[in-house]
């Protein structure tokens, strides 16, 4: 098939299949049906699965919308605030915009493939992107990855529309998407670097530098980020220091790079990765590789000395799905079907595991187990003598503080007693609490403050069925006795490890 917008190189195309690899359906109804099916799955999971620790943390952010936060830019907090405004303080309210974001990302991925390689590739792109583990398993979770992936994909889509139509006003949409992406996660800066590399490294890119629309897009992206920069400047650049301060840390280890490569194959799923690699080997979508090269180069460099988390790769999955769809549309029917079947089978394992609440495979506080056992544990906390006597709840680590705030914050004030930099968006610690009794709840085995009366100490175990997941120690403490060391000079706590 001819390349309508020049993103596929002139090298020989992958041979066409002898028979259609997908049913002969019009692409838009088929794509709409695919997107709607996964949207319904993720909406159902969003409604019934309890929040993981990070989601509760971001929900705490949303209680005080700000232009910046310690860990990430503010977009996910704004989304959660909007979702809760519409649907209430519920799990679904926290996640609804993230569910919609992944659905829109899948639809735009299909549109990109349609522009590059036609309707059959578009349908396969919609299927394959939703088969990757991040989309299938985490397509309902409210983390910064949801807006990050959405706006990254939106920038690629607007760029493809630009090249298809030669309407340079699309540069304004590219700039807006990049700016909103950086407001979602600092990772999206790498896409901006990718556009700079394309603009300086290709003849077409250098021609585009003459157009005022491109520079207007740059201005839009920059203007979008001014409030985020101002917030960080006013708060000692805490957000930038956290995210960029760890660059280059760790010792070089080739084994970590092998781990990164295996992670990429597994999370994209093996046969989808194979299809994408086949398309790359045949010279498909060279410009997409230009745009992603800085991001992938950074991950490789980071992967030489540190572990790479699976979700860090999330912005690249739509482009990989597009590449895989180009190969799928021209391959023998069995290969893309096998790729999709294997991906869905792999993804079904964690989905079923999350929904099957009473049968954890292993104990501990892994992300999959963070959604288990909270209702019973919170009921035990409420029934405890320490909680009944307390006017407020104290804890030490942000993860437990966030979960306790989610479940108990409407009953009693919940405050973390360390790492004040994580809570710059909240009001200052109320001084009056220092004269009132509190219940100090900590991870057993992660005790930061060893105080309270041992004879009145209580231990509550969060469990799933008969499997213990996390022990929590409850101490009755006097705020006047301990509060100055917890909340007095919290600037001294800024460098404590999380």
SS (H, E, C) 459-482: EEEEEECCEEEEEEEEEEEEHHHH
How far is residue 479's CA from residue 436's CA, in Å, rounded to a whole number?
A: 5
Burial 355-385 (b: 16+ CB within 10 A, else e): eebeebeeeeeeebbbbbbbeebbebbeebe
Q: How confident is the model at residue 357 (pLDDT cuts 50, 70, 90)?
A: low
Judge contact between 444 and 473, C-beta under 8 A.
Answer: yes
Q: Scan for tokens 């100490």, then name that residue.
A: 457
Calculate the average pLDDT of the chain: 85
State yes or no: pLDDT of 184 exceeds 90.
yes
**pLDDT score at 283:** 78
Which residue would you say has higher pLDDT here, 11 or 72?
Answer: 72
State yes or no: pLDDT of 10 exceeds 50.
no
- What distance lies between CA 347 and its chain's CA centroid? 17
How far is residue 139's CA from residue 278's CA, in Å, rounded to a whole number?
A: 26
Across 118-125, average pLDDT: 94
**pLDDT score at 464:** 86
Across 11-21, average pLDDT: 39
Which residue would you say has higher pLDDT here, 362 or 495?
Answer: 362
Lowest-pLDDT choice from 86-90, 161-165, 169-173, 452-456: 452-456
**pLDDT score at 81:** 97
Lowest-pLDDT choice from 121-125, 273-277, 379-383, 443-447: 443-447
The candidate with the shortest Cα–Cα distance to 123, out of 13, 22, 41, 37, is 22
State yes or no: pLDDT of 237 exceeds 90.
no
**pLDDT score at 106:** 96
Tokens of 409: 């914050």
State yes or no: pLDDT of 25 exceeds 70.
no
Across 134-141, average pLDDT: 93
Across 219-231, average pLDDT: 95
The candidate with the shortest Cα–Cα distance to 152, out of 284, 323, 320, is 320
Q: What is the DSSP pairing of strand 467-478 with strand 458-464?
A: antiparallel
Which residue would you say has higher pLDDT here, 120 or 465?
Answer: 120
Helix (H) or strand (E) holding 286: helix 286-303
The dihedral of CA 300, 301, 307, 310: what is its sign? negative
State yes or no: pLDDT of 16 exceeds 50.
no
Q: How confident is the model at residue 493 (pLDDT cuts 50, 70, 90)?
A: very low
State yes or no: pLDDT of 308 exceeds 60.
yes
The residues spanned by each domain of the chain are 27-355, 374-493
pTM (2 d.p.) = 0.89
Is residue 166 packed enough to be buried (19+ CB in 10 Å), middle (13-18) or exposed (0-12)?
exposed
State yes or no: pLDDT of 4 exceeds 60.
no
Lowest-pLDDT choice from 110-119, 325-334, 374-383, 486-495: 486-495
| Span 47-82, pLDDT tens digits | 999 999 999 999 999 999 999 998 899 999 999 999
Lowest-pLDDT choice from 55-64, 227-236, 279-288: 279-288
Q: How confident is the model at residue 3 (pLDDT cuts 50, 70, 90)?
A: very low
**pLDDT score at 40:** 96
Q: Which of helix, strand or coil describes residue 70?
A: coil
State yes or no: pLDDT of 438 exceeds 50.
yes
Which residue would you say has higher pLDDT here, 331 or 50?
Answer: 50
**pLDDT score at 301:** 86
State yes or no: pLDDT of 495 exceeds 60.
no
Across 92-97, average pLDDT: 98
Judge contact between 319 and 219, C-beta under 8 A.
Answer: no
Q: How confident is the model at residue 322 (pLDDT cuts 50, 70, 90)?
A: very high
State yes or no: pLDDT of 14 exceeds 80.
no
**pLDDT score at 369:** 85
How far is residue 404's CA from residue 401's CA, in Å, rounded to a whole number?
A: 5
Judge contact between 476 and 453, C-beta under 8 A.
Answer: yes
């Amino acid at each position: 098939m001819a390349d309508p917008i020049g993103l596929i190189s002139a090298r020989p195309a992958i041979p066409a299949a002898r028979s259609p690899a997908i049913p002969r359906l019009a692409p838009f109804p088929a794509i709409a049906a695919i997107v709607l099916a996964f949207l319904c799955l993720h909406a159902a999971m969003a409604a019934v699965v309890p929040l993981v620790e990070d989601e509760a943390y971001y929900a705490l952010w949303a209680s005080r919308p700000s232009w910046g936060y310690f860990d990430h830019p503010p977009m996910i907090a704004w989304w959660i605030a909007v979702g809760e405004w519409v649907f209430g303080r519920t799990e679904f309210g926290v996640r609804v915009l993230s569910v919609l974001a992944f659905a829109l990302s899948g639809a735009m991925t299909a549109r990109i493939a349609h522009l590059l390689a036609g309707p059959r590739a578009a349908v396969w792109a919609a299927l394959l992107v939703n088969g990757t583990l991040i989309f299938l398993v985490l397509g309902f979770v409210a983390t910064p990855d949801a807006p990050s992936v959405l706006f990254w994909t939106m920038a690629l889509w607007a760029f493809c529309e630009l090249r298809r139509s030669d309407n340079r006003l699309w540069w304004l949409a590219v700039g807006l998407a990049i700016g909103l992406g950086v407001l979602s996660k600092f990772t999206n800066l790498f896409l901006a670097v990718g556009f700079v590399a394309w603009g300086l490294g290709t003849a077409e890119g250098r021609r585009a530098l003459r157009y005022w629309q491109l520079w207007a897009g740059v201005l839009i992206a920059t203007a979008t980020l001014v409030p985020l920069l101002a917030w960080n400047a006013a708060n000692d650049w805490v957000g930038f220091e956290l995210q960029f301060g760890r660059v280059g840390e760790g010792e070089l280890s080739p084994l970590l790079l092998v781990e990164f490569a295996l992670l990429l194959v597994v999370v994209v799923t093996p046969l989808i990765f194979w299809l994408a690699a086949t398309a790359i080997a045949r010279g498909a979508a060279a410009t997409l590789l230009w745009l992603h090269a800085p991001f992938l180069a950074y991950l490789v460099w980071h992967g030489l000395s540190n572990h790479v988390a699976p979700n860090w790769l999330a912005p690249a999955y739509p482009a990989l799905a597009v590449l895989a769809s180009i190969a799928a549309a021209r391959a023998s029917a069995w290969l893309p079907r096998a790729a999709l079947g294997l991906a869905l089978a792999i993804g079904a394992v964690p989905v079923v595991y999350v929904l099957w609440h009473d049968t954890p495979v292993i104990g501990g506080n892994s992300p999959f187990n963070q959604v288990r056992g909270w209702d019973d544990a919170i009921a035990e906390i409420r029934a405890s003598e320490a909680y009944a006597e307390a006017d407020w709840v104290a804890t030490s680590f942000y993860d437990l503080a966030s979960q306790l705030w989610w479940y108990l914050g409407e009953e009693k004030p919940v405050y973390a007693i360390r790492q004040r930099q994580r809570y710059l968006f909240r009001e200052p610690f109320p001084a009056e609490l220092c004269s009132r009794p509190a219940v100090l709840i900590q991870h057993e085995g992660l005790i930061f403050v060893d105080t309270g009366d041992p004879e009145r100490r209580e231990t509550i175990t969060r469990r799933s069925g008969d499997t213990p997941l996390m022990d929590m120690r409850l101490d009755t403490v006097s705020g006047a006795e301990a509060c100055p060391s917890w909340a007095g000079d919290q600037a001294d706590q800024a460098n404590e490890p999380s």
